A = this chain, B = another copy of it.
Amino acid sequence: MPPRHTVKPNASAAPLSSLADAATPRSPTVPLDEVDRQILVLLSQDSRRSQRALARELGMSAPAVGERIGRLERLGVIRGYGVRLDWSAAGFPMTVYLIITAVQGYQQSAIVEKIANIPELEELNIVTGAIDILARFRVRDHAHLRQLIMEHIWKIEGVHRTETSLSILDIEAENLVAGLLSTPAAGPE
C-alpha cells in the first residue's frame, strides 16, 4: 500500500465526456484556521516537503500535520498535487491566448467542449463582457500555432471571431496562496 495520502484520481488524459468533468468546482467554503493556511502556503511552495519538515516549521508533530492534510484533502480544499513545469525547457516555449467570440444564440457549451479536448489547451474560461471565451494554449512554434488554429479552432462551428494574442511575458503569481490566505482579510474561520 502506498504510504502517502491518496487523493481522488485526477482527470485523465482521456477526452472529456462532459464539461462538469473539468470545470473548476464551486464548493462550499471550508473553514480554515491559521495552521491550515500555513500548511497550504508551505505545500504550495513545495508539495513534496515531508510532513516532518512541515511539522518542524510549524512547531507541531508530524502526525498532526498528516491529519490536517488529510482533512484538507477530504474536504476538497486540496484537489491534488502537481508539478510546476518549465514548458520552455520541455519544448513548448510559446503561450498563446485565443480570444473567441461565439455566434449569437449558438450553444457555447458545444464550442467549449471541443476546445477543451484540444491537447494544447492549458486553460479555458467562459467570461462576461465583450468576448465570450478566453483560452490559453501552449505551442512549440509558429507552425504549431498555425496548425492549432487551422485544424482545430477554425473547424469549430459557432465561432464568430477569433483573436490571437501571443504572450510576451508570463508571470505566474506563486505568492497567490501566501498573499491571499495569510494577510488580507483571510478566509473565514
Decide: A78 near B85, CB < 8 A? Known: A164-B129, A171-B24: yes
Chain A interface, number of residues (Cβ within 8 angstroms)? 99
A65 proximity list for chain B (CB < 8 A): none
| Contacting pair B46 A173 (CB below 8 A) | no
How far, in angstroms, from A79 to B87 measured CA to CA in the complex? 10
A120 proximity list for chain B (CB < 8 A): 176, 179-180
| Contacting pair A82 B85 (CB below 8 A) | no
User: Is A5 in contact with chain B by the CB < 8 A criterion?
Assistant: yes
| Contacting pair A112 B175 (CB below 8 A) | no
Number of copies: 2
How far, in angstroms, from A45 to B11 measured CA to CA in the complex? 8
How far, in angstroms, from A27 to B170 measured CA to CA in the complex? 13
Decide: A50 near B3, CB < 8 A? Known: A171-B19, A171-B112: yes
How far, in angstroms, from A92 to B119 measured CA to CA in the complex? 28
How far, in angstroms, from A116 to B175 measured CA to CA in the complex? 10
Contact of A46 among B10, B32, B122 (CB under 8 A): B10
| Contacting pair A123 B173 (CB below 8 A) | yes
Decide: A176 near B122, CB < 8 A? Known: A2-B53, A82-B82, A88-B24: yes
Contact of A89 among B76, B80, B126 (CB under 8 A): B76
A168 proximity list for chain B (CB < 8 A): 125-128
| Closest chain B residue to A113, Cβ basis | B171
26 contacts between A and B (CB under 8 A): A9-B46, A11-B174, A12-B178, A24-B170, A30-B91, A40-B90, A43-B83, A46-B81, A47-B48, A47-B81, A48-B48, A77-B90, A78-B86, A79-B84, A81-B82, A82-B83, A112-B169, A112-B171, A119-B175, A120-B176, A120-B180, A121-B176, A122-B173, A123-B171, A123-B173, A140-B185
